[in-house]
Amino acid sequence: MYVYDEIDQRIVNERVEQYRDQTRRYLAGEISDAQFLPIRLQNGLYVQRLAPMLRIAIPYGMLSSRQLRKLAQISRDFDTGFGHISTRQNIQLNWPLLEDVPDILAELASVQMHAIQTSGNCIRNTTTDQFAGVAVDEREDPRPWCEIIRQWSTFHPEFAFLPRKFKIAVCASETDRAAIHAHDIGLELVPNAAGELGFRVLAGGGLGRTPVIGSEICAWLEKKHLLTYLESILRVYNQLGRRDNKYKARIKILVKAMGADAFRERVEQEWAAIKDGPATLTDAEIERARSYFTEPEYKDLPALAESAELQRALAENNAFARWYQRNTFEHRVSGYRIVTLSLKATGYAPGDVSDTQMEAIADLADHYAFGEVRTTHEQNMVLADVEGNELLGLWQQLTALGLATPNIGYLTDLICCPGGDYCSLANAKSIPVAEAIQERFEDLDYLYDLGPIDLNISGCMNACGHHHIGHIGILGVDKKGQEFYQVSLGGHQGKDASVGKILGPSFEQDAMPEVIDKILATYLDLRTEEEHFLDTYRRVGMDPFKERVYAEAH
Amino acid sequence: MPKLIKDGAVVEDSWAGELLDLASYNEHVTAGSAPDGKLAVQLEPGESPADISGDLTKLPMVAINFPVFTDGRGFSYARELRQSGYQGEIRAVGHFMRDQLGYLARCGVNAFAFAEETDLSAAIASLSDFSDHYQADTLQPEPLFRRR
């Protein structure tokens, strides 16, 4: 993991003191509400429906057990003892007092954490693969690059008042687990003809009101040019992005309006002025960033197939075997397994984790996984390095904690924003819809028979729940003051990303489990053997689903 | 005389020349009547430094207007002016706010004329909220990683 040096720590400490003074001046009436808005947003603080919400940065999803314990303590001292993992791998607290935020930030700084640029019209937390460094299909560890981008984007003087928020994601593996096509900038580490890895740069992807898949702006960029190239894209966007309408202010609108070719040309023009300048990365800096992400001290273990203890447990314990199959993943190193902790137990808001769970997870991380924990953009957590013969013991403890629901990648492992229960932007509640669907489809045999399905729920157009890229997407809409839900099908994240298409007229909240049931029944009727939901949808199209859902509804 | 922050101090505004909008300034230049040191130009959002006619070195001052503090185009304009080698005064005018001073200064703005009543001697403190920065900027051309 990256560890702050004296300079990193000083910068974060100075930020706390800066914000402490800004809060003091605001409370003294020296800063207006309008002026304080971007200041508090860029320190993570929203004012929500019921109380402020503080979004704490978890850079590219990496946490130490010490940091997680601190988050547990903060959530207990300043909130009601819960944290909510967001789709940007961050963690949100729902009840902090505005007056307390400087103290919370100081607590965070004591464990090398912050809430810098987690909101506002600036460059946000860079996200990546939650399996970075341990994935079998990885070309290179993306985390040193994420850290380099984090430092470059932190307090960038030119890009703190952009037309709109700006999100960057990095993928370095065969399978895209970071949804890079749905980001303002998506970076993929790819080899050129000579086999050397560089960045494929996508720009202008995004969800929200106008979902767009990113356009390729550069097919292969030499690594050392990463920052000057990013700077050029941001400079074009900062000057030419629309500022007259916040719904048309994201870079995707600019790239579409200019066309990818004209946009690229403009970027290259800006780039010519700064390329090879001082912001060009040095080998020493790349090595320095890499030095923080070296391998932990893996043991020389037998392959999982040869671990007698594990194989016996798998053969004897059905529940354990089910969990092993669904919630653990192949590890790059022989004898190890990646474990996903499901934050999608029925009856709990998706992505929520309690203070006691956080402390227990920190203990488990220390015992089983080199003291490291990750958050995922699917709102779960990960212990990345677990020995095969320890899995049974870990599973037993996770089960007791309610963190072993064997549903990762299945329908009930849904993505869900906080929605109208918490968020002042939302048109509709999302958590009750998620719960009703989880309750309806709790039967594991049915769930597994359905195969992998991404179901994503957003309470409004802002699409925090990524509904556009769910195989089944649900969007809360407001119709004459009533909460309704629009369903879309066929969205997908990954290298063959697609944006879902709307099924038809929206539904009342109570109808949602039944609607989902009909969609699933249609799929089960039409699928060929081994065909996943998305494949069936792509083959048969929208009509059969539409007919079934609406024919029986009227 | 109105006061402003210039080069890190509160000073009287000593500018005695004329401040023209971009179109008028460019007309003067085209007509060959831009007197050295007496005319300055004010950029509005949407008017890039690249649109300024004539020899930039003869311009004593470029003012960058912030009609609203949330419009951040001026940050890039200042940066581009300095990048092109401009050495004269870059003055932020309009509705920017004290808490943006640090960023503006790092982009190359060296004079700040607030439209709103501001305690200038207190505001100066915001120029030094941070003792170091990650990026290369106008004040520090080497990014932190080259100095670590």
Ordered strands of the A372-375 beta sheet: A62-64, A372-375, A381-387, A336-341, A328-330
Residue A183 has a pLDDT of 95
How sure is the predictor about B52, in pLDDT bands with cuts at 50, 70 and 90?
A: very high
Residue A281 has a pLDDT of 98
Asked if ipTM goes beyond 0.85, one says yes
Which one of A12, A40, A161, A283 would you mutate to disrupt binding with B, by most B Cβ within 10 Å of its Cβ? A161
Whether chain A has a CB inside 8 Å of the CB on B148: the answer is yes
223-262 of A, contacting B, C-beta below 8 A = 227, 235, 238-239, 243
The amino acid at residue A524 is L
E-strand ranges in A49-208 read: 52-56, 62-64, 82-85, 91-93, 127-128, 168-171, 185-191, 197-203
The amino acid at residue A467 is H
Closest among A209, A199, A141, A210 to A168, alpha carbons compared:
A199
Length of chain B: 148
Q: What phi and psi, each to the nearest 5 degrees, are found at residue A195?
A: 90, 0
- Distance from the A218 Cα atom to the nearest Cα atom in chain B, whole angstroms: 23
E-strand ranges in B13-76 read: 18-21, 39-43, 61-66
Which one of B83, B134, B144, B148 would you mutate to disrupt binding with A, by most A Cβ within 10 Å of its Cβ? B134
Contact call for A158 and B104, based on CB within 8 A:
no
Q: Locate A536 and state its tokens.
A: 């069936």
Contact call for B135 and A243, based on CB within 8 A:
no
* Helices A283-290, A143-153: crossing angle, 10 deg rounding: 110
Whether chain B has a CB inside 8 Å of the CB on A6: the answer is no
The model's pLDDT over B8-47, given as tens digits with 9 standing for 90+, comes to: 999 999 999 999 999 999 999 999 877 678 899 999 999 9
The amino acid at residue B91 is R
Length of chain A: 554
Q: Which residues contact A276 (CB under 8 A, 6 or more apart)?
A: A228
- Distance from the A148 Cα atom to the nearest Cα atom in chain B, whole angstroms: 9
The continuous run of DSSP H or E covering A39 comes out as helix A33-41
The model's pLDDT over A366-398, given as tens digits with 9 standing for 90+, comes to: 999 999 999 999 999 999 999 999 999 999 999
- How many helices, marked H, and strands, marked E, lie in chain A? 18, 21
- Eight-class DSSP state of A282: P
Q: Can you name the residues that pair with A85 across neighbouring β-strands?
A: A91
**Cβ-based contacts under 8 A for chains A and B:** 107
Contact call for B99 and A39, based on CB within 8 A:
yes
CB B65 within 8 A of CB B44: yes
Average pLDDT rounded to a whole number, residues B97-118 = 97
- Distance from the B145 Cα atom to the nearest Cα atom in chain A, whole angstroms: 6
Q: Which residues contact A69 (CB under 8 A, 6 or more apart)?
A: A358, A359, A362
Q: Give dist(CA A114, CA A183) in Å, integer.
A: 23
Q: Can you name the residues that pair with A221 across neighbouring β-strands?
A: A199
Closest among A148, A238, A129, A198 to A495, alpha carbons compared:
A129
Q: Give dist(CA A514, CA B131) in Å, integer.
A: 59
Dihedral angle computed from the Cα positions of residues B53, B56, B61 and B62, in that order, rounded to the nearest 10 degrees: 50
DSSP-assigned states of every residue in A406-475? S-TTSTTS-EE--GGGT-SS-SS--HHHHHHHHHHT--HHHHHHH----EEEESSTT-TT-GGGSSEEEE
Q: Which residues of A touch B114 (CB under 8 A)?
A: none
Q: Locate A443 and state its tokens.
A: 């039967």
CB A474 within 8 A of CB A487: yes
The model's pLDDT over B121-147, given as tens digits with 9 standing for 90+, comes to: 999 999 999 999 999 999 999 999 999
Which one of A239, A270, A281 would you mutate to disrupt binding with B, by most B Cβ within 10 Å of its Cβ? A239
Closest among A537, A508, A500, A507 to A520, alpha carbons compared:
A537
Q: Locate A140 and state its tokens.
A: 């290179």
Residue A370 has a pLDDT of 98
Separation of CA A460 from chain center = 17
23-62 of B, contacting A, C-beta below 8 A = 45, 48
Percent of chain B past pLDDT 90, that is, above it, reads 89
Which positions of chain A have pLDDT values less than 50? 553
Q: Which residues contact B42 (CB under 8 A, 6 or more apart)?
A: B19, B20, B21, B22, B62, B63, B64, B65, B93
Cβ atoms < 10 Å from Cβ of A112: 18
Q: Which residues of B touch A157 (CB under 8 A)?
A: 75, 79, 102-104, 106-107, 133, 135, 137
CB B63 within 8 A of CB B40: yes
Residue B101 has a pLDDT of 98
Q: Give dist(CA A227, CA A377) in Å, integer.
A: 24
Contact call for B143 and A288, based on CB within 8 A:
no
Residue A554 has a pLDDT of 52
Q: Can you name the residues that pair with B94 across neighbouring β-strands?
A: B66, B114
7-36 of A, contacting B, C-beta below 8 A = 7, 10-11, 14-15, 17-18, 22, 31, 35
275-294 of A, contacting B, C-beta below 8 A = 277-279, 281-282, 284-285, 288
Closest among A119, A107, A105, A109 to A48, alpha carbons compared:
A119
- Distance from the A300 Cα atom to the nearest Cα atom in chain B, whole angstroms: 36
- Distance from the A59 Cα atom to the nearest Cα atom in chain B, whole angstroms: 16
